[in-house]
Structure 1
């Protein structure tokens, strides 16, 4: 009986690990997208500042 309980706990833990790995991968992808957007926005801001400086 105790073996089945331990086996069930192990199986549940392994499922949770797989779910957490999938969530981690999803979050890493989301972070990469957001970093890309941030980089683009910073470049736009820097370009605008440079354009303003050149106009003066």
Structure 2
């Protein structure tokens, strides 16, 4: 999710589409939060790991 967000963010900045930039930023933040919670050993939505 973080990689997809980064790709969308870069495309949005290079092409000048603010919607892609916003979606990319949201995906990066959501992916980082899930990654941090998963690394701390906390279960998220009943699952210990998201693959």
Of the two structures, which has the highest relative contact order with CA contacts closer than 8 Å and spacing of 6 or more? 2
TM-score tier (shorter) = 0.3 to 0.5
Q: Give the TM-score taking structure 2 as reference length.
A: 0.48
Give the number of the structure whose residues are more often helix, by fraction: 1
Q: Which structure has the larger Rg over C-alpha atoms?
A: 1
